[in-house]
Structures are given as C-alpha cells and as structure tokens.
Amino acid sequence: MTSRGIAAAAAVFAIALPGAAQAQGPPGQASTPGAPGVGDPYFPEEGNGGYDVRNYDLTLGYDPATDHLDGLALIKARATQTLGSFHLDLTGLDVHSVKVDDVPARFERSGQELIVTPHNRLRERSTFTVAVDYGGTPATIVGSPIVFGSPYGFLHTDDGNFIGAEPNAANTWFPGNDHPSDKATHVFRVTVPAGKSVIANGKLVSQETSGDKSTFTWEELDPMATYLATVDTGNWVFKNGTTPGGVPETVAVDPTLIQSQANAVDFFYDTTAEATDYLATQFGPYPFMATGAIADNATYNGRALGFSLETQTRPVYSAVRSTTTIAHELSHQWFGDSVSVADWHNIWLNEGFATFAEYLWLDHKGTRTAQQSFNADYSRPASSSFWRIVVADPQRDTMFASAVYRRGGMTLQALRTKIGDGPFFEILRTWAAEHRHGNGSTDQFIALAKRISGQDLDPFFQTWLYTPQKPTSW
C-alpha cells in the first residue's frame, strides 16, 4: 500500500547506489532494481521502492533468558515495477536465508538495507512472497537524538521485552518496508517459555502451550505502519471486555506495576475505555477493531523510561501514566495510526493533533478549558527558542521537539477560535474519514481546512506552521 510515486523513489536511488547484483533475466534487458528508500526527507533509507507490502506474517521465538529472537518473516507484496532486485530494511541480526516464492534468493547486506536478488525477475504488478529466516539479539537504539535522547526500539526488560519503534526502529526486529507510506496487515505468531505470555497489536486468535513453550498468535487485520507494530513478552495480567461505546478492549499490565499501584489494571482499563469513547464523539468513529493498553515496568540500564507510544489498537506505556497521556496516545489512533504521515516531516499532524486532544480531554474532565490550555502554552516568552522551530518541517533530530507538540496543538485551537466549532470539527472528522487507514500531508490538511471553512487560510497556516517566530496576530 505505497502512496509515494516512483519518481521520488528513483530520485533517491540516484543518490544512494546499492550496488545490487543482477537477477537472471532475458539478456539485454536493463537492470531493474527497486530503490533503497522512498524519498523521506529525514530518513532517506527508510522504506524501499518498487513494491508494496500487503501482509507481514512473523513467526517469532523470544527467550527472555538469553535475549535471543528467532524469526521467520513471510512478506507478501506486489511489485509496482519489474524487479531484478529489491531492498528490505533490516538493522543488525543475522540473516540465514532468503527465499522468493519458495525459491532461494541471493542476498547481501549494506547498512540497514537487505538487498534481495530473486532467482527470477519479478514482473510489474505480480504478487510475491519473500521469506526471510533471521535471528539474533535485537539492539536497542540508544544515544540517538531523535526520540528526545531516550532509548527506544526493542527493549529487553526484566521479564521479557517491550517494543516502541517510532520512527525508524521496526527494522531492528523484523525485515520490511519500514516507512508509514507502506501500510500492511500483520500476523504475529510468538513462542515464549511456558509461563510467559505475549501481548501485541490487534486480536488474539490462538494461544497454546505444549511442553515448555507457549505460542500466542495476534492479528492486526487493518493496515498498519511498521513502526506501530509491537510484540511484548513477559508476565502480564490481562483484562478483556468491551467499552460502553462498543469497542473490544484488552489491557495487559506488568504485575510489578500492580505492586506499587494496586488498581493499575482497572485504572488503565477504565481510562482507556473512557478516552476511546470520548474521542470518538469528537473525531468520529474509532478506526480500529480493538483498543487497549500495554503497561510494562520498562527500564534501560536500571533507569526508568518515559516511554508511551501509540502502537496500533493498543498503546504501550513504560509505567503507570496520567489519564492525559492515555488520552494523547489514544487520539493517535485517529491521527497517526489511521491517518499516517505521508512522510516524517509531517509529524505535527500526529503530535499537534494529539496535543489538541489533550486540550479536549482536560476540558472534558473539567480541569481547564481548551482555551486555558492554549493560553498556558502561548505564554512562553517570544524570546524562547521554543518559537524558533518550524512546526511543519522541524528537522529530523528535533522532529519530536516540544514545539511540534504544543505549537501544533495551539495551531488547531487557534484555527478553532478563528473559524468556529462547527466548521472546525467538521474539518477534523472529514480528515479522519477521508484519509482513514491511509496517509496525509500538511498541504492536504490546509487544502481541506480552506475547502470546509471557505476561508483563505494560507496566511494563518503560514504564521502558525511555517514562521519561526511567536505568532502575534492571525
């Protein structure tokens, strides 16, 4: 489900040559390698060109005692061009073999690129399955400035593991087309030592124990960006049900969190239900088949992580978090997960919207009005470096800067007061509906806002999203 054109991918290919081997094909035909990236301005190597993934079927074994992951990834994809070779993203780990349509393929590795040369050239528009047999100890990303300096990706916890991979860490635990422009369905078949359990995205379709191993199969059958996939193993206390609004809900909480907060399971369960149903009254129908929470006791080198991520259908939390954080992560189910960024420079479409959802949530709870939240954020002095970030293009290492969140949220509240609640909420609901299970860009959002409000909002968005100064009139 790729939304970017081949032109953009081809441009990147010219910059980063993979040096892929040639597939066998009729003599005299031009080499037809798939591009190593999709042209993301912040992450040129993320994603790949020439195909479109339909489904990831991951058979995994994880042993918390050794931190070792074994994987067989079956990737079903459709070629969008003739392919003599193509790339997958994969960082670290060992690749034992690669097959394409059951035929052994040649492969080589170069940085995060796994370059596959199938025995037979793949025809444009044909569907094929890549099987990658791999394994090793996934590396946590540390020291990168991208996620406010926090370790992220695959975390090895006391009792298992915990995954939060935004924006570029899915390829540290499975091979794929690691960019939100290519969404796919996911199946996770995960085997762990008996006594441990597994929570992941979507719904649990089977669970069986034989001998000293247990296997859990989870399925997310709505399209999902790779970074929103999570598979978390360990000791879990589960609570299942349905929200009053009718959304199936599963919560999993690490029992060590319950030791310090006795009501942790009910707290996550009840807050998630309330926020899921409340946000649906604001943004339109909940976009997925389940909601929930995964709350772990996650540390890195003994230090607590400030870790919450909007993993699809079921956000992850590295400890017990506030109701506002829970509402924030659930608002991403609409803005981020269902409507995903076309590329990463549009990140304010996730974080600004989730911050605005916090404003709504605090208003709903009677804590303060959305305008009071706006006022508090706006009160930062004009001299603050906060106002220097261009929200619509914050740059890679500052893509999660607080301005992307708070100024992004202020932008929506300012728009609301400018055009009125009627058109404003119609814009949000139309955005969620028209791009449901797809992608969106800032330009598309601005065009929609202009269409629904009937106003020329270019100066407004220029001031709020593109000018590195504190807005004074709009």
In this structure, the dihedral spanned by the alpha carbons of residues 378, 350, 244 and 251, taken in order and rounded to 10 degrees, is: -110
Q: Enumerate the β-bridge partners of residue 110.
A: 113
Piece of the chain touching Zn ion by CB under 5 A; list 110-118, 200-208, 348-356, 392-400: 348-356
Q: How far apart are CA 258 and CA 333, in angstroms?
A: 26
Least Å distance between CB 225 and ligand TRP? 12
- Find the helix packing angle between 264-283 and 348-364, rounded to 10°: 110
Contact 125, 81 (CB under 8 A): no
Does 275 engage in binding with Zn ion (CB under 5 A)? no
Does 341 engage in binding with Zn ion (CB under 5 A)? no
Those residues whose C-beta lies under 8 Å from the C-beta of residue 319, and which sit 6 or more positions away, are 257, 295, 296, 297, 298, 304, 305, 307
Query: Which position's Cβ is nearest ligand TRP?
Result: 164
Q: How far apart are CA 273 and CA 243, in angstroms?
A: 5
Does 377 engage in binding with ligand TRP (CB under 6 A)? no
Those residues whose C-beta lies under 8 Å from the C-beta of residue 425, and which sit 6 or more positions away, are 282
Contact 438, 445 (CB under 8 A): no
Piece of the chain touching ligand TRP by CB under 6 A; list 109-117, 198-206, 302-310, 420-428: 302-310
Does 401 engage in binding with ligand TRP (CB under 6 A)? no
Piece of the chain touching Zn ion by CB under 5 A; list 36-44, 214-222, 341-349, 350-358: 350-358
Strand residues in 272-328 grouped as ranges (E):
291-295, 299-300, 303-304, 308-309, 316-317
Does 128 engage in binding with ligand TRP (CB under 6 A)? no
Binding mask 326-355 for ligand TRP (x = CB under 6 A): --xx---------------------x----
Find which of Zn ion, ligand TRP, none residue 308 binds, CB within 5 to 8 Å per kind. Answer: ligand TRP
Token pair belonging to 329:
């992560």
* Exposed / middle / buried, residue 196 (Cβ in 10 Å: 0-12, 13-18, 19+): buried
Does 354 engage in binding with Zn ion (CB under 5 A)? yes
Q: How many other C-beta atoms lie within 10 A of the C-beta of residue 31?
A: 11
Piece of the chain touching ligand TRP by CB under 6 A; list 10-18, 29-37, 290-298, 307-315: 307-315
Piece of the chain touching ligand TRP by CB under 6 A; list 40-48, 236-244, 308-316, 459-467: 308-316
Find which of ligand TRP, Zn ion, none residue 309 binds, CB within 5 to 8 Å per kind. Answer: ligand TRP
231-234 and 197-200 strand pairing: antiparallel
Name the residue nearer to Zn ion (CB basis): 228 or 414.
228
The one among 47, 71, 164, 223 contacting ligand TRP by CB under 6 A: 164
Q: How far apart are CA 218 and CA 205, in angstroms?
A: 6
Name the residue nearer to ligand TRP (CB basis): 83 or 147.
147
Least Å distance between CB 127 and ligand TRP? 32
The one among 69, 122, 309, 370 contacting ligand TRP by CB under 6 A: 309
Binding site for Zn ion (CB under 5 A): 351, 354
Binding site for ligand TRP (CB under 6 A): 147, 152, 164, 166, 307-310, 328-329, 351, 400
